[in-house]
Amino acid sequence: MRVAREIIRVSGSKKKKEIDRIAVELLLKIYLNKKRLVSISCSPEDLDYLVTGFLFSEGIVKDKSDIKNIKIEEGCCYVEVKESSFFCQKLWIKGSGCGTFFSSQQKLEKVSSPFFAISPDDVLFLMKEMEAFSKEYHLTGGVHSAGLSDGKKIIIFRQDIGRHNAIDKVIGESLIKGISFSDKILLTSGRISSEIVSKSAKCNISIIISKSAPTSYAIKLAEFYEITLVGFARGKRFNIYCHHERIV
């Protein structure tokens, strides 16, 4: 979603009035079983996917069946979950320079997806396809993109002002539609941080590809989880940071 706004565009010594397209930001307040959980700055579309993906990828619920009801109205989301499914022992807010997220104390487990590999040409094709899908970004410059791929094409694509949110929307849509993660690839336009690697591991995704950079801790986690981490996938090149055996 976008809005129009009159701006002054400056080029050299020249100034000109123009109409610019601005990405819309919503502060979504999430309540879990009537208790305030968190507020997320996000784009105002696909909020059911966002909330479902957020609750799952942050370890607050184990499965989509744990969510009994989601009701969204006037900037608030009311989620009802089975009490027995709310298994996070401790939650704390952390910041990563892109919104607010939760982490839970859970045992680290390596990704157990069946082994599959893709070619370097597939990596570059998928990033070109995501670029072509990113119409909102080309219009506003104010959103991130994320996608889920089977290695040959993008099967789910979402955008949001937050890179974590875009990924959570992809995860949530996959869960709601019953799409398995085990033989899929996560695509993102944004920086690969440790939280994104952790979300991927939670979903049993074994390959992450981004057109941006990973952080040092993201690489460390990917090495542990046995996730193939690809960054700077642009034009005709990319970097493989760990577990290169899946790119053949």
pLDDT computed for residue 102 by the predictor: 53
Does residue 10 lie within any of the structural domains?
no
**What's the alpha-carbon Rg for the chain, to the nearest Å?**
19
pLDDT of 29:
96
Boundary residue ending a domain (104, 129, 159): 104
In whole angstroms, how far apart are CA 159 and each of 7, 17, 66, 133, 140?
24, 29, 26, 10, 12
Q: Are 46 and 169 in contact, with CB atoms under 8 Å apart?
A: yes
Residue 17: inside a domain: no
97 & 141 share domain: no
Classify the C-alpha dihedral 162-166-169-171 as positive or negative. Answer: negative
Q: Quick check: is 19 in a domain? A: no
The rounded distance, in Å, linking the Cα atoms of 44 and 74 is 11
Question: 125 and 229: one domain?
Answer: yes
- Is 224 within the bounds of a domain? yes
Report strand pairing: 154-160 vs 185-188.
unpaired
User: Does residue 97 lie within any of the structural domains?
Assistant: yes
Q: Select from 76, 104, 132 the last residue of a domain.
A: 104
Spatial CB neighbours of 83, under 8 Å, sequence gap ≥ 6: 33
Average pLDDT over residues 11-25: 91
Residue 3 in domain: no
Find the CATH number of the domain harbouring 196: 3.40.140.10
Residue 99 lies in domain:
26-104
The pLDDT, as a whole number, for residue 107 is 56
To the query of whether residue 98 is one of the catalytic residues in this protein, the response is yes
Which pTM was predicted?
A: 0.89
pLDDT category, 39, cuts 50, 70, 90?
Answer: very high
pLDDT tens, position by position, 119-137: 999 999 999 999 999 988 9
Q: Domain count of the chain?
A: 2
222-228 mean pLDDT: 95
Please choose, from the candidates 56, 102, 47, 100, the residue with its C-alpha nearest in 3D space to the C-alpha of residue 81.
Answer: 56
In tens, the pLDDT along 64-119 reads: 999 999 999 989 999 999 876 555 544 444 433 354 545 544 556 778 777 889 99
User: Which listed residue (42, 77, 98, 242) is catalytic?
Assistant: 98
